[in-house]
Amino acid sequence: MFKKQNGEKLYGGITAGTVIAKGVSIEAGEISGAGNILIEGVFKGNISIDGDLVVGSSGDVSGDVKARSAMFAGIYSGSVNVDGAIRFCEGSRVKAQVEATKIIMDEGAIFDGYITSAKIYQEEAKI
C-alpha cells in the first residue's frame, strides 16, 4: 500500500509530505498550510490545506476538512469541502456532510450523510 518516492510516502497515487503515523494521537489539533497529508493515526480537529488529504486504512479523523481532494480508507466523521474529487475506498467508514465536484465510491465503502455538488451548480449559474 505504501511506497517511497523521494523520501516521501506514496498512498493511492498521492505523495504525502506530512504523515501522522499509526499509533500517534492528536486530540485537539488544527492543521493548515500547503502540501499533502496522510493520516494513519488519530486526529481530532480541523484541517485546511491547499493539497490532498488521505485518511489511511488505520486512520481515524473527526473534524472539518477543506482540501484540494480527499481520499478516505479509514474512519472519518465531520464536514468535508474539496475543490476536486473525493474518494471513499473499500473498508472506509464515513459519516459526513460532503461538498465536492467528483465523488468516487468504491464497493465496500460505508457512507452515512449527504453529498452536494454546489460548485457544479455555481458554474452552471454563470453560463
- Would you say 49 and 70 are in contact if contact means Cβ atoms under 8 Å apart? no
Residue 3 has a pLDDT of 38
Residue 13 has a pLDDT of 66
Residue 17 has a pLDDT of 78
Residue 22 lies in domain? 2-126
How is residue 6 written as a grid cell?
A: 523521494
Supply φ then ψ for residue 57, to 5 degrees: -60, -25
**Model confidence pLDDT, tens digit, residues 47-66:** 999 999 999 999 999 999 99
How is residue 15 written as a grid cell?
A: 505523495
For the chain, 127 residues long, give each residue's pLDDT as a single digit of tens: 333 444 445 466 667 778 889 999 999 889 999 989 999 999 999 999 999 999 999 999 999 999 999 999 999 999 999 999 999 999 999 999 999 999 999 999 999 999 998 665 555 555 5
Residue 8 CB-density burial (10 A; 0-12 exposed, 13-18 middle, 19+ buried): middle
- Neighbour-count burial for 27-42, b at 16+ CB within 10 Å, e otherwise: eeeebeeeebbbbbbb
What spatial distance separates the first Cα and last Cα of the chain, rounded to whole Å? 43
* Amino acid at site 31: I
Overall number of domains in the chain:
1
Q: Report the candidate in 77, 110, 104, 105 with the shortest Cα–Cα distance to residue 91.
A: 110
